[in-house]
Amino acid sequence: MTFPQEATEPLDPAEVLARTAWSALDHAYGTAEDAPQILLDLMDTDLRVRSQALSRLHHVLHHQNTLYTATAPAAVYVAGILGDARALEAVEKERHAFPGPMRAELLGWLDSVANAADDEAAATMRRFGFPPEKYPPFVAICRIRPQLFLAVSAFLDDRDPDVRAAATSACIPLLDDPRLVHHRDTLTPMLRDSLAASVLWQYQARAIDALGSWGQDVTGLEVRQERYAFCDAERQPQARVAEAQDWNDADLPF
């Protein structure tokens, strides 16, 4: 599926690594000077190395749905390697991981990052007294949403159904962007006919929630499994802190 291109900078992962002052940025454990190695290891030929890199991507650069100053450049890098042939390689899976190769996992991570800067996340931050426009990591993710959308939407017609589903889901939070909201009409049939019919209840719920928030008729659509069952909630790529646990000072990105 081809979307009209938005004005955006090129996604050159090598350039992102070279031009980003990583030591001046932070992640969950302090300075992000180790971020380039984490990102490079995602495409390593060794299964264990790239699997560990994926884990660190989640738990270091986007820990518990938190956005850090290093998250945005990391997201641009990840978007830039989605088309790399090495993204078709397998990755070690946790018990409740979604299916698919590394490419599907990277799309799921981008989905989570975009979720942390969508309209609902902004409303939640304001409700707790934290204006999102005054939080640089949030602003940085909003700024690059057209870049991320161009990269993610390229896989809406992927031959791998797991990659297609991950790409479709990852587009949803990006389309809160005023520059991209017009693409909702194109994505709506895919949400209704594909994602809402997924065998995974998380995707079913994702599609139904999005369609409802976009003003679409969701009559007849329902989640075919208890959506907040503990065993499934353990690892949800699109889970929100507000859904998974109570908000507290440790969870807020401030």
Q: Could you tell me which of 236, 217, 243 has the C-alpha nearest to residue 169? A: 236
Q: State in Å, rounded, how far the first CA of the chain is from the last one.
A: 39
The reported pTM is 0.86
**Six token digits for residue 240:** 């929100």
**Six token digits for residue 194:** 């594909």
d(CA 166, CA 178): 22
Using only C-alpha atoms, the chain has a radius of gyration, in whole angstroms, of 17
d(CA 111, CA 24): 25
| 88 within 8 A of 44, measured Cβ to Cβ | no
d(CA 227, CA 152): 25
pLDDT in tens, the chain (254 residues): 544 445 455 578 999 999 999 999 999 999 999 999 999 999 999 999 999 999 999 999 999 999 999 999 999 999 999 999 999 999 999 877 889 999 999 999 999 999 999 999 999 999 999 999 999 999 999 999 999 999 999 999 999 999 999 999 999 999 999 999 999 999 999 999 999 989 999 999 999 999 999 999 888 888 887 545 534 444 444 443 333 333 333 344 43
Tell which phi-psi region holds residue 178, choosing left (phi > 0), alpha (psi between -120 and 50) or beta. alpha
DSSP tag of 48: H
**Six token digits for residue 139:** 């602003």
